[in-house]
Amino acid sequence: MSDDEIEKIKLRKVKKLMNETKSQDAPLTATDFSFPEIIKKNPLVVVDCWAPWCGPCKMLAPIIDTLAKEYKGKVTFAKLNTDDNLATARKFGINAIPTLLVFKKGELVDQMIGVMPKNDIESKIKRYI
């Protein structure tokens, strides 16, 4: 397979993912490949940077799931496994997890580090809606 063919396949997969998740009320799964497209195509995105071994990340996960349902149509939530997606984690200087990154119109506008109560996360997010 040529590089062009591989690139076309990747683009088709990203488009399919984006179409499937438009009506979804759960966080998207972000990868090094899909991350740029997710933040570009959605006006407001909150990315949960986590790892499977991280206890505080596990505590934050149900809060993110709830917020994704409650803010469906207003905020897109995504989860980035930092162990599997080192390029994106490095690009944004993720040194501690969980870290929430807030993107508005593709630009990083805020960051929250550590487990936070739902109300604190909501008040930060509401600034950008």
User: Would you say 75 and 110 are in contact if contact means Cβ atoms under 8 Å apart?
Assistant: no
| Residue whose C-alpha is closest to residue 53's, from 101, 94, 97, 116 | 97
E-state strands within the chain: 28-30, 44-50, 76-81, 99-104, 107-113
Q: Is 49 a catalytic residue?
A: no
The catalytically annotated residue of 30, 39, 45, 54 is 54
The catalytically annotated residue of 45, 46, 57, 80 is 57
| Residue whose C-alpha is closest to residue 84's, from 97, 65, 101 | 97
Distance of CA 91 to the CA centre of its chain: 14
> 96 in the Ramachandran plot: left (φ > 0), alpha (ψ -120 to 50) or beta?
beta
> Which residues belong to the active site?
54, 57
